[in-house]
Structure 1
Amino acid sequence: MTTTTATPHWFKSSYSDNGGACIEIRSDLAASHGLVPVRDSKYPTGPALTVPTHAFAAFVAGVKGGTV
């Protein structure tokens, strides 16, 4: 894995306006490592779950399709 001194950039969807029940993601590892770190936006210093890009893409598709 490549190490970097850059500060990770976490972001949440601009559509997130549901009273704080949001997740944040980092997209900087998607292309280089095939991973998407995900965390609870209410606990930015808490743990992050790292999922494969294909699993995250399936999750997003499910949310958009109303099945998740």
Structure 2
Amino acid sequence: MEKKTIPESSPNISWAYENLARMGGWKDTKRTGKSSVKALWEGWFKLQTILEGYELAMSLDHQNL
């Protein structure tokens, strides 16, 4: 996990595109060019799974209080 400070401005769409593709297994090389829809979809699915896990952990944490 990257430990960086929160940026002053929000990221642009190309940042989201590249990071979703990387989560889906896309490697940014000169030969591959743009990522595939499959890599974007797999990245989106992985992100949704992470968010669901976070929400579940937060709901369990609040129940134990």
How high is the TM-score relative to the length of structure 1?
A: 0.31
Q: Which has the higher contact order (CA 8 A, sep 6+)?
A: 2
How high is the TM-score relative to the length of structure 2?
A: 0.32
User: Considering only CA atoms, is the larger Rg found in Structure 1 or Structure 2?
Assistant: 2
* Structure whose residues are more often helix by fraction: 2
